[in-house]
Structure 1
Amino acid sequence: MWRFNPFGGKVQNGLEGRTIDVGNIKITVRNAIAQGGFSCVYLASDAMHPSKQYAMKHIICNDSELLDLVMEEIQVMNLLKGHPNVVTLVAHDVFDMGRTKEALLVMEFCEKSLVSAMESRGTGYYEEKKALLILRDVCNAVFAMHGQSPPIAHRDLKAENVLLGLDGAWKLCDFGSTSTNHKCFDRPEEMGIEEDIIRKHTTPAYRAPEMWDLYRREVISEKVDIWALGCLLYRICYFKSAFDGESKLQILNGNYRIPEQPKYSAAVTKLIKDMLEASPNDRPDVTQARALIDWPFISMILGLVSCK
């Protein structure tokens, strides 16, 4: 088995230039393209077919908790493999380094993220149809997750985790925060554990009210993804966050404003408002959300037909 030395916490430049066997493929690691606390994503190419590119995620697991999260991420990606709106896991391997374990996840390469796509547009906001097409692709991935038994909640839906595939489809990535533990947390010790998980593995600006305040005694379920989809649609439409992410009260009170410009249809603004309902029981489920996304297209077609 191919082995490498741990980095002592320094991820940057750790694997660049090396050729590695991961699963049943041999890849050559190129440059680092993204970096986190215990992980780094590299651009890589097939050693036998250099024109074929991959993204390779390298994760240093310093404890069993992080290793469990990585194994769950691999399990979810394998479960969703083949879905056109989910980044494909091509191969994976876990190396035992003694005190640590190091995981390699080889995935399809996506050229840009939704964030970089929006940044490149400056103030050139998306037309309504394009904005809804992006959200529909993400919603299709969420639909596949929520359709599992039990439903899988992504729990970290955000613009940074939406990538543009080489096939032109928008794809969801980063499944390291997923959960099937849908419940109302009553006991203080349970609350403390869940609050720590939420703090570590969710993004404040997309975090649903029931995740901010467990004393609301509301079930934390896959409906947290619907709230995040509302935040995502707001970001796609207006190129800014509905909430600054730092104000707990702002989110708990649903204190956001629909900008006057750019102007979108009442159907789009209603969809944002429906998904950003403070109570999870008042939000649509993902099936209803997909229907609401498709309705503007249906209305447009009906309008064209009636004009003929």
Structure 2
Amino acid sequence: MGQALCICSRSAITIDNKRYYFLQKLEEGGFSYVDLVEGAHDGRFYALKRILCHDREARKEAQTEVEMHRLFNHPNVLSLTAYTFMERSGKCEAWLLLPYISKGSVWSVLEKLRDKGSFMPESRILHILHGICEGLKAIHDKGYAHRDLKPTNVLLDENDRPFLMDLGSMNKARIEVRGSREAMTVQDWAAQRCTISYRAPELFNVESHCIIDERTDIWSLGCVLYCMMMLEGPYDLIFQKGDSVALAVQNPVSIPQPCSYSPELQTLLSSTMVTNPQERPRIGWVLDQIKSLRGSDGTDIDTNRV
């Protein structure tokens, strides 16, 4: 990763006493930008995420994202190479230096398959899903939840190893809601930080007295699995048409038939997308099911790549 490039006249930054050269823009969001940079010291490519901190609360959120990255050292959670906070002209930016995964996100892979009129083989789905679940288990085991799991937040390397990214919405796995005011606070937070078409039902209308736990991620995981099977999320079209996603998620997920995937994989999908969070499985159970579907050695990976 990262061949030598001409760095003449390239703008550069320094993080942790190491110099990096800007190559090109990769993504641009509402309050963040991602640039491709090259390390002058090692010739490797990195993704530089720049978060605009327009107020003290935004800076606190960026600091939380940094802390979440530093909390994990796991092969399926994107690592943080370095970070810094830059103060310029009275404005603050958080700079997060991350590994550059050239293959892109699960969503970009699915888009290519859709454009070719192709599909993702079941063995490949199970391989990717297994890695996603291993990353989620690491997060859940430390008492946190991702809260914004979706195909664009899962990167794939050349061997289809998935990396969970965008940890800015992560918080404590167990949230105890006591009263209508706290319920509205959680609901408003979810509306801002949890992508609507992958958001668990219990986050749309938060009850006044309840416990929200990490099984919000299991619902989102089911949506990601559905997307890998159908090449679109279960509620993407509903959202695009302007219909109510909040209403749609109150009903069991409908798997289009005929379905070319095994009944066992369809059952796994239905098991993750249970409307009542108390009836939804935890990540350990999901992993056991995936291992059973893959076989004892887990080496049944299809070579039909995008």
Which of the five TM-score ranges fits, normalised by the shorter chain?
0.7 to 0.9
Q: Letter of the aligned partner of 1:201 in structure 2?
A: R
Tell me the SS of whatever aligns to 1:136: helix
Task: Give the alignment partner of residue 223 of structure 1, picking from 210, 215, 221.
Answer: 215
TM-score under structure 2 normalisation?
0.86
Confirm whether residue 28 of structure 1 aligns to residue 21 of structure 2. Answer: yes
Q: Look up the match of 1:37.
A: 30
Q: What are the equivalent positions in structure 2 for 1:156-167 lying under 5 Å apart?
A: 156-166=148-158
TM-fit CA distance, 1:261: 4.3
Distance 2:209 2:260 in 1: 37
Q: Look up the match of 2:4.
A: none
TM-fit CA distance, 1:75: 0.9
Tell me the SS of whatever aligns to 1:60: strand
Answer whether contact 1:55 1:108 (CA < 8 A) is retained.
yes
Distance 1:124 1:205 in 2: 24
Q: Letter of the aligned partner of 1:210 in structure 2?
A: E
Q: Look up the match of 1:211.
A: 203
TM-fit CA distance, 1:98: 6.0
Q: Deviations over 1:88-121 (max 9, x none)?
A: 2111001233643211101000111111111111
> Structure 2: any 5+ residue segments left out of the alignment?
1-8, 299-306
Answer whether contact 1:41 1:57 (CA < 8 A) is retained.
yes
> Structure 1: any 5+ residue segments left out of the alignment?
1-15, 302-308
Distance 1:154 1:253 in 2: 24
Matched-pair identity in % = 29
Answer whether contact 2:180 2:208 (CA < 8 A) is retained.
no
Q: What are the equivalent positions in structure 2 for 1:192-211 lying under 5 Å apart?
A: 192-211=184-203
The verdict on how the C-alpha distance between 1:75 and 1:166 changes in structure 2, with shifts beyond 3 A counting, is farther
Tell me the SS of whatever aligns to 2:41: coil
Q: Look up the match of 2:275.
A: 278
Tell me the SS of whatever aligns to 2:125: helix
Show structure 1 runs of 4+ deviating over 6 A: none
Q: What are the equivalent positions in structure 2 for 1:248-263 lying under 5 Å apart?
A: 248-254=246-252, 256-263=253-260
Q: Letter of the aligned partner of 1:190 in structure 2?
A: E
Tell me the SS of whatever aligns to 1:252: coil
Answer whether contact 2:180 2:207 (CA < 8 A) is retained.
no
Q: Deviations over 1:6-58 (max 9, x none)?
A: xxxxxxxxxx94211112421111211111111100000012333x1000000
Q: Look up the match of 2:86.
A: 95
Answer whether contact 1:210 1:216 (CA < 8 A) is retained.
no
More deviation, 262-271/131-140? 262-271
Aligned residues between the structures: 281
Confirm whether residue 293 of structure 1 aligns to residue 285 of structure 2. Answer: no
Q: Letter of the aligned partner of 1:20 in structure 2?
A: I
The verdict on how the C-alpha distance between 1:281 and 1:220 changes in structure 2, with shifts beyond 3 A counting, is same
Q: Look up the match of 2:96.
A: 105
Distance 2:285 2:231 in 1: 25
Distance 1:284 1:137 in 2: 18
More deviation, 21-30/164-173? 164-173
Q: What are the equivalent positions in structure 2 for 1:1-308 lying under 5 Å apart?
A: 17-50=10-43, 52-81=44-73, 83-97=74-88, 99-111=90-102, 112-122=104-114, 123-148=117-142, 151-166=143-158, 168-180=160-172, 182-215=174-207, 217-243=209-235, 244-245=238-239, 246-254=244-252, 256-298=253-295
> RMSD of the TM alignment (CA)?
2.0
